[in-house]
Structure 1
């Protein structure tokens, strides 16, 4: 089964553009840059379409063939798909649960890491986060400015994804700076027994 984010996004795009061919679903999601923030590989979109069809959330409404090209399958959302879409969307809006951060396994093993490696990694992480924040700010401005050609512009709602990513990176940057400061000042020394880690 497709990951929940892929499932929701593909179902949502089919709903928005229906009747729609898989290539157009892929193109729309790529214009939102979903591969960056939702980890959706372009090929996984076709797999999600097949899964949604198998689960009877979408249905094939046409299979067109143009010349020597292979048949193009066209989809639309079923009544059950409409209900499922709204249920998934509602759950995400109301759920205030952060996903597992990839750094958490390293944080809980801080006392078993080399102090110098941790300090160097935290400093490098600070530089990367500062750079990511600058790029996100430029990206938001670029999206909102637009080019005037809707075929090539990133939709404005995608700027909100960049704003959320920016806010999360700011929070991570504050935490990283704080951790580095506490380690360097000696306020936190998880490498000493009895430290208030």
Structure 2
């Protein structure tokens, strides 16, 4: 499983997480992801999505479940998660949420963190804070050492920027932990109001 999860790209993860809400065809995936503005996290083109769906099917993470026809449009193949695909989503998020060296993947993991239990997310974010704090201290120590050796500040401007970003990231993370840990914060798809669930909207549209 670890090797399979390691080959899952951010776009593939977004598609797998989407299929946790129910089976659907590729056109529906594109429409829903654009509606949810997922293009801020991953590139959404018909070509890349169709290619990724085909690769997920070859990898045994999704499977065809049938075809649908809407009016005079061509038949569309519907897909659903396999057991391996369903397991890949939380495993991918678990791996990427505490990692501080893959920022693009972290953004996707954060967006899909609701696929994990609240307590596990808080633990993983705690691990991330420890790693961020250690990195911040390393940058501060590096700047101090460079200054002692007489290195001019103009050569350390990037190190200074990274220290500021780490400091801001830690401050944001503390707010995020408070938000997730608040019992009033709705967490997980199962806890959403029924009217907000995709499957209910989908069923109503097809009724």
TM-score tier by shorter-chain length is 0.3 to 0.5
Bigger helix fraction: 2
TM-score in terms of structure 1 length: 0.46
Asked which structure has the greater CA Rg, the reply is: 1
